[in-house]
Amino acid sequence: MNYLIHNVEIIDKHSEFNRQRKSILIENGVITQISDISPTQSTDHLTVISGQNLQLSAGWFDMRASFCDPGFEYKETLSTGCNAAQAGGFTEVAVLPNTQPVIQTKNELAYLKSHNLRHLVQIYPIAAVSVNAEGKELTEMLDLHTHGAIAFSDGIQPVWHSDILVKTLQYLQKFDGLLINRPEDLMLTRFGTMNEGVSSTMLGLKGMPALAEEMMIRRDLDFLAYAGGKIHFSAISSARSVQLIREAKAQGLQVSCDVAAHQIAIDDAALMSFDSFLKVNPPFRGKTDIEALLEGLQDGTIDVVVSDHRPQDEESKNLEFDLAEFGALGLETAFGVLNTFGKKHLSLEDKIDKLTFRPRQILKLPQAHIKVGEEANLTLFDAQQEWTVEPKHIQSKSKNSPFLGTTLTGKPVAVFSGAQTNWQEKN
């Protein structure tokens, strides 16, 4: 099927067509024409999509998601995860290694990559740093890199062992590999359920201090200066974390970071409802932290916005708050949340840049371009559309979204990946 996306506004700060209205012709999965009004040929054999109220960007890339497969398919499968991703406007997703078995051999990598032959959304595996993500013994990272691991991380677990961290930084330099670490001192957050502060005191819940995150960032930055290499901090959440990374960048260290979209939208006061869908890790912080995160996005300290998609089945969430599992859905709401709550701090181009160009740049992946001769890797969206998050709209196998009942502004309409699209499925 060939497509003409007619009269659509292109959003791409790296493109000569940024903020221009063009008509994009896609034939056999390749962009063959970018014109002012319409292609020179007949549209008889084309599916014409009116872009009058729509925007078009390079396909969105999520740098942090859990697809739970293999091992936890009752929470999410590769297929339902990909369905959620394309519904959220993503054409490519980097998945965490915390499955059963952990993604730590070429066989697990091959299992994940084989799914790419069957689905529009392309999966990029992040392999474990340590065996079983326990932080005690290094995996065969060179072999994993050779067989397709795009980065190394213990995923939802921090690399807590100092010697393992230093050796990882040194070892990855052999092939310019990337360490992704989620900073958390597990001893400080043990038995914690939410941010440590006024709200946790009022609720009588064990708090998780921001210091636990900040101490690990300081430690990792010291080791980075000592050992060299590069590190990406994932899912940062506090004002001090932003400042530490800002200072490290100014010193010339090879450091980058991301924030989960939901962290800029909800503060810890919302947990007065004891809604277990709001139990996430890192926890929702205070209003001053949210403001610092938004400022970090604005000045470029925070490079990427991620979904931190972590599905949980009903039996893991329909419990007393302190017993419920951590995690929230994020793929289908990431753009709407970023567009709604980041409106005053970021232009539309900057929001899209943090979902497209920057994650691929950090992971050293080919960029997606809106350019004649390029294979289609595109996201079509409506930045002005208001919509309310409802369970019936969620494509994920689980339903643990913290935004159920929330009205967001900005929604994906369709994605294109080569000759594949979900346009017909949705319209």
Longest CA span, the chain: 68
Measure the CA–CA gap between 224 and 66, rounded to whole angstroms: 27
Measure the CA–CA gap between 240 and 389, rounded to whole angstroms: 32
309 DSSP 8-state letter: B
Question: In 10 A of CB 56, how many CB atoms?
Answer: 24
For residue 190, what are the contacts with CB-CB under 8 A and spacing of at least 6? Answer: none
Measure the CA–CA gap between 366 and 3, rounded to whole angstroms: 24
- Whether 308 is catalytic is yes
Measure the CA–CA gap between 47 and 55, rounded to whole angstroms: 18
Q: Which of the following is catalytic: 299, 308, 350, 382?
A: 308
CA distances from 363 to 41, 52, 201, 231, 249 (A): 39, 34, 40, 11, 18
H helix runs in 278-333, sequence order:
287-299, 314-317
Measure the CA–CA gap between 393 and 84, rounded to whole angstroms: 10
**C-alpha dihedral over 231, 348, 297, 394, to 10 degrees?**
-70
Dig out the tokens for 81 from the structure: 């995860």
- 252 burial (CB, 10 Å; 0-12 / 13-18 / 19+) is exposed
- 157 burial (CB, 10 Å; 0-12 / 13-18 / 19+) is buried
Measure the CA–CA gap between 137 and 153, rounded to whole angstroms: 13
Residues belonging to the active site: 308
